[in-house]
């Protein structure tokens, strides 16, 4: 299974890319995505990150992503 993780806002600006990593293991959870990202980019270890799957925020850290899903990491945002 191949999954790309798309980055938005300050994550994209800090990393310098809108796409980050491809997972190849047969099963990937939202928690796996966040943990792997924070291991690779420890500057975000204390940042609360949200995961969206197919343009909807994931409600569970155990939600499993499937091949072909649009996975996004989204940092905290504010605005009106």
Q: What are the tens digits of pLDDT across the range 14-69? A: 988 888 766 777 788 889 889 988 998 999 999 999 999 999 998 887 888 888 88
* 1 burial type by CB count under 10 A (0-12 exposed, 13-18 middle, 19+ buried): middle
What pLDDT is stored for residue 67 in this prediction? 80
Nearest Cα to Cα of residue 63 among 34, 22, 42, 21: 34
Distance of alpha carbon 30 from alpha carbon 43, whole angstroms: 19
What pLDDT is stored for residue 61 in this prediction? 78
Quote the pTM value.
Answer: 0.83
């Amino acid at each position: 299974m191949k999954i790309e993780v798309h980055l938005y806002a300050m994550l994209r600006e800090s990393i310098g890319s809108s796409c980050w990593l491809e997972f190849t293991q047969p099963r990937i959870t939202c928690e796996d995505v966040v943990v792997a990202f924070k291991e690779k980019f420890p500057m975000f270890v204390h940042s609360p990150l949200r995961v969206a799957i197919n343009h909807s925020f994931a409600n569970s850290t155990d939600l499993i992503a499937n091949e072909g899903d649009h996975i996004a990491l989204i940092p905290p945002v504010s605005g009106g």
